[in-house]
Amino acid sequence: MPLELNSAAADFESGFQALLDGKRESEADVGDIAAAIIKDVRQRGDAALIELTTKFDRLTLTPATLRIGAEEIAEARQQCDPETLDALALAAKRIEAFHRAQMPSDLAYEDEDGVGLGLRWGPVDAVGLYVPGGMAAYPSSVLMNAIPARVAGVERRVMTVPTPDGVLNPLVLAAAELAGVREIHRVGGAQAVAALAYGTESIRPVDKIVGPGNAYVAAAKRLVFGKVGIDSIAGPSEILVVADARNNPDWIAIDLLSQAEHDAVAQAILITDDAGFAGRVMAAVETALKTLSRADIAGASWRDHGAVIVVGSLDEAPGLIDRLAPEHLELAVDHPDALAARVRHAGAIFLGRHTPEAIGDYIAGPNHVLPTSRTARFSSGLSVMDFLKRTTWVRCDPESLSRIGPAAVTLAKAEGLDAHARSIATRLAKPA
């Protein structure tokens, strides 16, 4: 059964702290394995990719078949249901519109000393898009990773996707085509991360790697960071629903299970100010589990990592939310905007009784690649900013340098950096 807490109980703080400290990811140390895989790919290139794909995905490849060609992509599109393709196209349109609105503007101005200052934005040259395979295939994740990169102006967008036993959801390829991804390789795991970071004979290296994966992918991303940029280290999915008794308990129950069905170590938490409603939601969860195709996964998540927290008043919720810093936050209350204004740490917020988190996974527009494992305290979801970098610029003429240069000379001397001081002082004495 899920953990049940009541804020009025004497042991609430210790119970809540235990919830915060609970470890949901595997205890197994996969770092050494990921490091060995990366070393192998660096040393042997395509040969290592092919061998590891045979071992882990039970698929024999050659250098010529590592890459998925245009004909295979077109054929996959033909296999897709037209209605689903239309839905995918609508999602792509909405995702692009939202991310295009995020594009920042360059900055340029002259300050009171006559110094020209500014910054300009520009995209990274190449990005690797890791798309999970195996347990579930997510064409929506293709859109969420690839479209912001395209909007940002990244010229080369490379997708890697594992194809266990040679199976690949045609919608994944259709989504890639829709998002403008033309370079796709059928390789996954830590070996794909290594190939994207260091390159092989068939895969040229990229500048940044984005996209979620399993524990080995996460470990590999940690290890290659610095050689390339990464978006984040994604952990198991999570949802926190704040709901009062005016909600339909069946709605709230299925919202909780919408994230629980991702993974047995996903986490779903309910905060409510009504103990009776909490009981009705828990009963509704048990009923809904009987109808889900992924009931075993969702049930394990709810049983082992779920939580129901009853508070005396929803005024207590913001403090608890900020400590949990959830990936997804639903506010199914009368005045969600007022409550949201008091929340500082959440990956994405869904406002009102008719805004289920699942709408954000597919069609709303904001990105569904979000900070997990309480990292919303210091990080944000994927956006165009992840594919852009900024360069600042400064312009001085003799007059403006004469105004600010002496102070710089003083500071350089204070730090004992004579060449710094002289590079400025020389120009002050003999302007060009």
Residue 354 annotated among the catalytic residues of the structure: no
The CA distance from 87 to 83, in Å, is: 6
Q: What are phi and psi of 251, to 5 degrees?
A: -65, -45
The CA distance from 195 to 178, in Å, is: 24
Token output for 423: 């590079």
Query: With contact defined as beta carbons under 8 Å apart, do 128 and 196 qualify?
Result: yes
The CA distance from 86 to 93, in Å, is: 11
- Beta strands 116-123 and 388-395: pairing type? antiparallel
Catalytic residue among 99, 185, 262, 327: 327
Query: With contact defined as beta carbons under 8 Å apart, do 364 and 328 qualify?
Result: no
Query: With contact defined as beta carbons under 8 Å apart, do 170 and 76 qualify?
Result: yes
Contacts (Cβ under 8 Å, ≥6 apart) of 172: 76, 131, 133, 137, 138, 139, 142, 161
Contacts (Cβ under 8 Å, ≥6 apart) of 268: 2, 238, 239, 241, 256, 257, 259, 260, 301, 302, 305, 306, 307
Contacts (Cβ under 8 Å, ≥6 apart) of 4: 278, 307, 308, 310
Residue 327 annotated among the catalytic residues of the structure: yes
The CA distance from 61 to 399, in Å, is: 66
Only one residue has tokens 């949201």, namely: 340
Three-state secondary-structure class, residue 53: helix
Three-state secondary-structure class, residue 62: coil
CB atoms within 10 A of CB 278: 22
Only one residue has tokens 């080995």, namely: 216
The CA distance from 88 to 77, in Å, is: 12
Catalytic residue among 262, 328, 345, 368: 328
Burial class (CB in 10 A: 0-12, 13-18, 19+), 274: middle
The catalytic residues are: 327-328
